[in-house]
Amino acid sequence: MLTFAQCLHAALSNEEFIQQYDRLSGGHLNKLLKRKPIDIMVDKATGYEVILENEVRESARQFIKFVYDVIYSRLQD
């Protein structure tokens, strides 16, 4: 039996799945996961990092719930 952590890891490893999740949910998870080091440094310098951290947390919560509801809970024992 696949654990939820393994299921979540598989979902996060699938770029196409994340793109389609963003498309359907209106989220920006793919963009948040692919930030470049220069973007991270600019965000820290401007104070935007705090706002972005909250967005990342909320996006992660929504994605985890989605993976649980749509994939993991439907797996057969």
pTM of the model: 0.79
Amino acid making up residue 64: I
Share of the chain above pLDDT 70, in %: 99
CA distance 9 to 29: 14
Burial class (CB in 10 A: 0-12, 13-18, 19+), 59: buried
What is the number of residues in the chain? 77
pLDDT in tens, 3-38: 999 999 999 999 999 999 999 998 888 888 888 999
CA distance 49 to 55: 10
- The pLDDT of 56-66, averaged and rounded, is 92
